[in-house]
């Protein structure tokens, strides 16, 4: 075990010198259930126990400070913490950007959010919003950095101009490869923000070290950062399986393995898997590398296709099947959509519903930051090389751009 490993919160708690600039200032915390110390104390409680920190407020992102809210557009209320007597403000309730009154409640905001390394995960949008608000109000933002559990690999189309949304914080690929602290620096540079910002960096984190390849597997306990993020394998697959939120297929919500599997009552998953292999073998065999796909059956207890037997596929990105450098979750899910479209040309694949407060654009397009992925799936003539031709330049450009912001 790497006993020198410390996340940002652990370093802040252990080092009084790091905390010195907080003395005499009103301190707030933006956190969720995975905001815990090495001994699993919640960061809010750990900070409250320090005599040299004056907590004045706390904030919760989507799913709430307590992580109790399940799904898209299920909002959390503001409340008064019964133990600490401080206000807990929701940034996924009546507002998603902090109000003037919320900003008046603190001098320095500590951001301690475990991310999943995916553009659509809304905690990074919340980071952008609090940075913009801090620049406007002359407040300070400190990110207490945590690992990107998906590691450094980059994958997916870059969000196109005009496609910013709560699930699209800026022009980056789906799988961005950065930590929250690194993203903070990128937002400030990209948006040209004048804000007092610093990162309490991790100590001893190795971004691509085995066996976790991003997450310190065996050294730190995984805590769900959101209700359907139960383990590291989900975090690895998420940059692909999150697209299922914009599809009529079940993504496994209502099962014990959400966002690691997908299916529906009216598809033949064995045929889908065979078609995926045929399509990939002819033009892009590397798309299927780094994992194992397995036919499965499941019956969700809630959400899409609840109470019905679904025929599906599980993505195994763990154990002997996982190759960190080769695994391409976004392309695997794109390939699954393509196989279904080829087998069932008229299948109602795309879900039309209100998604993250957007009512006029399809969820699948919001998720991908443009219609390009959907158009590729629906085009009978398109091949894997066509998607790669659009995507590979985006990935290469992001890798080059993001180098300037790497802290580890």
pLDDT digits (tens, 9 = 90+) for 185-212: 999 999 999 999 999 999 999 999 999 9
Q: What is the pLDDT of residues 316-341, one digit of tens each?
A: 999 999 999 999 999 999 999 999 99
Q: What is the mean pLDDT of residues 332-354?
A: 97
Interatomic CA distance for residues 177 and 348, integer angstroms: 33
Interatomic CA distance for residues 224 and 46, integer angstroms: 19
Q: What is the mean pLDDT of residues 104-115?
A: 98
Q: Is the pLDDT of residue 70 over 90?
A: no
What is residue 94's predicted lDDT score, i.e. its pLDDT? 84
The domains of the chain, with CATH numbers, are 8-209 (3.40.50.12170), 232-399 (3.90.1150.140)
Looking at the DSSP bridge assignments, the partners of residue 89 are 59
Q: What is the mean pLDDT of residues 350-360?
A: 87
pLDDT-based confidence at residue 1 (cuts at 50, 70, 90)? very low
For residue 286, what are the CA distances in angstroms to 116, 233, 243, 333, 336? 24, 20, 20, 14, 14
With CA atoms as reference, report the closest residue to 397 among 159, 172, 148, 187: 172
Looking at the DSSP bridge assignments, the partners of residue 27 are 55, 108
pLDDT-based confidence at residue 293 (cuts at 50, 70, 90)? very high
pLDDT-based confidence at residue 157 (cuts at 50, 70, 90)? very high
């Amino acid at each position: 075990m790497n006993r020198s490993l410390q996340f940002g919160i652990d370093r802040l708690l252990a080092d009084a010198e790091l905390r010195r600039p907080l003395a005499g200032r009103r301190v707030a915390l933006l956190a969720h259930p995975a905001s815990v110390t090495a001994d699993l104390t919640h960061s809010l409680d750990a900070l409250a126990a320090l005599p040299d920190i004056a907590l004045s407020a706390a904030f919760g992102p989507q799913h709430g400070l307590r992580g109790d809210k399940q799904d898209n557009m299920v909002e959390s209320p503001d409340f008064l913490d019964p133990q600490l007597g401080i206000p807990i403000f929701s940034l996924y309730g009546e507002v998603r950007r902090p109000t003037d009154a919320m900003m008046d409640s603190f001098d320095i905001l500590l951001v301690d959010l475990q991310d999943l390394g995916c553009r659509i995960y809304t905690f990074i949008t919340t980071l952008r919003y609090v940075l913009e608000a801090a620049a406007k109000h002359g407040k300070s933002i400190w990110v207490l950095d945590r690992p990107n559990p998906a590691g450094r690999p980059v994958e997916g189309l870059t969000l196109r101009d005009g496609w910013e949304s709560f699930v699209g914080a800026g022009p980056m690929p789906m799988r961005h490869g950065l930590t929250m602290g690194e993203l903070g620096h990128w937002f400030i540079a990209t948006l040209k923000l004048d804000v007092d910002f610093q990162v309490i960096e991790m100590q001893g984190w190795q971004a691509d070290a085995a066996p976790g390849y991003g997450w310190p597997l065996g050294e730190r306990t995984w805590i769900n950062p959101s209700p359907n993020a139960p383990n590291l394998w989900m975090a690895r697959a998420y940059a692909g399986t999150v697209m299922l939120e914009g599809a009529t297929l079940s993504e496994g919500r209502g099962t014990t393995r959400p966002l690691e599997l997908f299916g529906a009552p009216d598809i033949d998953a064995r045929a889908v898997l065979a078609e995926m292999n045929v399509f990939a073998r002819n033009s892009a065999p590397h798309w299927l590398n780094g994992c194992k796909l397995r036919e499965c059956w499941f019956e969700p207890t809630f959400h899409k296709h609840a109470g019905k037997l679904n025929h599906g596929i599980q993505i195994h990105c763990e154990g002997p099947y996982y190759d960190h450098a080769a695994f391409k979750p976004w392309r695997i899910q794109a390939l699954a959509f393509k196989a279904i479209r080829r087998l069932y040309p008229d299948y109602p694949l795309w879900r039309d519903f209100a998604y993250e407060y957007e009512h006029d654009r399809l969820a699948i397009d919001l998720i991908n930051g443009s219609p390009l992925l959907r158009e590729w799936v629906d085009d009978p003539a398109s091949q894997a090389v066509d998607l790669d031709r659009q995507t590979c330049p985006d990935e290469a450009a992001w890798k080059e751009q993001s180098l300037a912001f790497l802290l580890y």
